[in-house]
Each structure stands twice: as C-alpha cells, then as structure tokens.
Structure 1
Amino acid sequence: MTIEAVIWDFGGVFTTSPFEAFNRFEAERGLPKDLIRRVNATNPDTNAWALFERNEVDTTRFDALFLEESTALGHPVRGADVLPLLNGALRPQMMAALKACKQHFKVACITNNVVSMHSPVQDAGQRAAGAMAQVMPLFDAIIESSKAGVRKPDPKIYLMMCEQLGVTPQACIYLDDLGINCKPAAALGMKAIKVMSVEQTLAELSVLTGLTFDTGPQA
C-alpha cells in the first residue's frame, strides 16, 4: 500500500535518548546500570511512570511512588530526581528528515509525556523544550499521553492518530526508539522503524519513502 503518513515518537528520536542521561545519573550515584529502566519496566501499565504519563497522578505523587518502587528494588531514588533527566539535545538530521517527509506525506507525533515543571513540553528553559518548540509546529497532528489519557504501547493511541490523519495503519510508517512501542504499531499494519541511531533510522526511512536523507555527521 502507498505510504500516506509518517508518524514519529519524540524523545530518543528527535532528541538524544534519555537512557543515556539515566546511565550517567546511575554512575554518578553509584547505582546499578539501567536501574531506572528496570523500575519503569516493573508493572509497566500501573507503575508510577505509567500513571504519570496518563496524567493520573501529579508530580508530588509521582515522586513518592517512584521512590517506593525503586526502594522495593533495593536502591531508593526519588522521582523528582529522575524527571530532569528526560531532557535531550536536538538531532538536526532527524528534524531535516521530518521537513523532507512533510513535503510528501502527512506527518504526526505520538509521545508519552508528563505534565510537570520538568516535562519537555512544559519547561521552556530545558534543551528538550527548545527542541519541542522547533519540531512540534511541523506536525499535522500530535497526541500526547498526558492529555489523551492513554499511552504507548496501548494500540488505541495509534488508532486514534490514524483517525485524526484519515489514514489506515497500513499506509503509515512509525518511528520509535523503544521496541515495545514499535510492536503494536507493526501488529496494526504500520511499517515500524526502531530508532537505534540516526544513520540506521534514515537508511530505513529512505527505503520505505523513496526519499534521500543526509546521513553525514551530526551538528
């Protein structure tokens, strides 16, 4: 089927991955590597992170819940210390690819985010907020988990986007840095690309779209 839309995740796609910041934080604190990811992967539909991204708890409650969950894994970490780590630096090549795709396809964003002073959406003083300000106006449609009350990998959020764009899943490409979020998109019929590097991503996107993207050194 002809491609009609390219749907993008935000963090870890247009910006450097927060996982890198998580690992730096863990190293600085003498914590086990990937502890934060392990906390987030435990009870992934009902844990502090899931509740926060669906806007079912506020920042104060998230702080307390994350502390409880990390403590249960043997290493207490406050949620308030994790939120600033979400910020990342803009990947200019990905933004250029978005602009190129926009000339030929509908473009949209599905992002799991949180409503807090440290959210990439809310904190204009952070690098990710600056990236948001540059990237988000380019999209034809945006779904934020904190506003929609549903988050990836729930298939509903992908179908919601298809309805907004007026396309079928089979006519869409979906990009995300998490395999768990790519799987439901692929199951619905989307062409899913797991973002592991800029070069790999743009090579796969080029094959699917027929467009040529700059894969030289990043700025």
Structure 2
Amino acid sequence: WDFGGVLTSSPFEAFADFEMRQGIEPGFIRRVNSHNPDHNAWARLERDELSAEGFDLAFALESEALGHRIAGSEILPLIAGTIRPAMVQALRVISETLKTGCITNNFKAISTLQTQDSKLSDSKPSFASLYKRDIMYLFDHVIESAIVGIRKPDPAIYKMMTEALDVDPERCIYLDDLGINLKPARAMGMQTIKVTNPSASIDQLSSLLQIDLRAHP
C-alpha cells in the first residue's frame, strides 16, 4: 500500500484549491514537483536530504524559476489529507489474514501536520497521530522514504518490502495513486491498482483477493 492518496485523500486536491485561491494556473505545483523529479526539492526532502527549512527556500527558488514563487512552508501543510475510512477498513480486514506493507514517500516534518478537520476541532486526532497509531499498526512492515533514504519509484524500495515480508512479488498487490509509482511494482510482477476512485479500488481489490471487503462491518 501507498499512504497519501490511498488511505487519505489526495494532496492534489489541496494543491488545486491553493492554486485557485492564489490565482495560479491549475497544475502548477505538480509541474514544479515533476521538474527534475529525482533531484528537485521535493525528492530531496523525501530522502531526508533537506530539512523543512531547507525545503522552504529550495521550493521557493524552483517554483520562481517556473513562474510563481511559492515558499515550501506554504506547500507542506497541503500534504495532510483526510482519512478515507472505507480504505482503512479494507486494510483492517485484509491485515487479519494476509501480510500487509506500506511504502510511503514522506518527510520527517510530517509530524507537524494535521488534517484540515483536526484544525477545526481540538477533540480530533492529528494527521500525525493517525499516521503513526490508528493506521500504521495494521501493517506488518512500513518503509518510509525519509528513514531509508530511497523513494518511489526507485525499484530498490519495492524490493526492500518484498524481502522484509518474505513474499514473492508475483503474489503481491500494490496500491498507489500515481502511475509512475506503480510501474516498478508491475515490472517486478506485482498486480497493481491505481487509486483514483476509492470505492472502485476497493471493488477491484476485493475481486483480486476473492474477499468481499464490503461484507465486513
């Protein structure tokens, strides 16, 4: 499993809202992130080669070069999506009988983030607590790019997971919201699901596993 965009809403939705509010052309933030994708500020942050402070300036310079100066500190809070309960429940059901793993491109500053909902109510848990406690315990193994210094779509990170779980890639299903991250998994022999519609993805996962994930409360 991927985390952001699969178990939570996609940050692209927050990017689009930010661009609209700032009068920036749609897709600009994604364009910055896709420019020099292996060595840009985003990639270096996810490999823990940049601190949050370093990312703040680096992203500002990269975005300015492409037309609009946006501080990295304005972007980081947009990453914290809202939890998708149906996807988490599907994971919970699967984890009862099958091995599960999470490969996530993240950054150490993620501990400072909260969901939009949690900002509105002190009674709701933060994104960070959900990320670490309420969801991550369901996985047998978690690989975080900021910890291991490798990020998707580097094939090595997928190999690390199959070795940690002691499973053959051909017996794995990998879910991600980005096609570029699915390609290496598919090349290894995994079945893949691109998560654009959570409900449809759950149905597809149910079909592949021959488990009716919707039949469980």
1:131 and 1:105 map into 2 onto residues whose CA distance is 22
CA RMSD of aligned residues (A): 1.3
TM-score (norm 2): 0.91
1:70 and 1:111 map into 2 onto residues whose CA distance is 24
What are the Cα deviations for residues 38-67 of structure 1, in whole angstroms up to 9, with x where unaligned? 000000000000000000111111111101
Give the aligned partner of residue 76 of structure 1. 69
Give the aligned partner of residue 127 of structure 2. 128
Kindly indicate whether the alpha-carbon contact (under 8 Å) linking 1:15 and 1:131 is maintained by their aligned counterparts in 2: no
What are the Cα deviations for residues 163-210 of structure 1, in whole angstroms up to 9, with x where unaligned? 100011111100000000011100110001000111110111011100
Q: Quick one: structure 1 residues 143 and 181, their matched pair in 2 at CA, closer, same or farther if it must change by over 3 Å?
A: same
Q: Which amino acid aligns with 2:112?
A: D
After superposition, residues 1-219 of structure 1 pair within 5 angstroms as 8-116=1-109, 119=110, 122-123=111-112, 125-126=114-115, 127-132=126-131, 133-214=133-214
Post-superposition offset of 1:124: 6.5
SS at match of 2:151: coil
1:103 and 1:60 map into 2 onto residues whose CA distance is 41
TM-score (norm 1): 0.90
Query: How many corresponding residue pairs?
Result: 204
Give the aligned partner of residue 3 of structure 1. none
2:182 and 2:159 map into 1 onto residues whose CA distance is 14
1:140 and 1:64 map into 2 onto residues whose CA distance is 37
Kindly indicate whether the alpha-carbon contact (under 8 Å) linking 2:11 and 2:78 is maintained by their aligned counterparts in 1: yes
SS at match of 2:112: coil
Kindly indicate whether the alpha-carbon contact (under 8 Å) linking 1:39 and 1:70 is maintained by their aligned counterparts in 2: yes
Identity rate of aligned residues, in percent? 49
Post-superposition offset of 1:115: 1.1
SS at match of 1:109: strand
2:45 and 2:176 map into 1 onto residues whose CA distance is 20
SS at match of 1:106: coil
- Runs of 4+ aligned residues of structure 1 deviating over 3 Å after TM superposition are 124-127
Post-superposition offset of 1:125: 4.6
Q: Which amino acid aligns with 1:64?
A: L
SS at match of 2:102: strand
Kindly indicate whether the alpha-carbon contact (under 8 Å) linking 1:107 and 1:141 is maintained by their aligned counterparts in 2: yes
1:78 and 1:142 map into 2 onto residues whose CA distance is 30
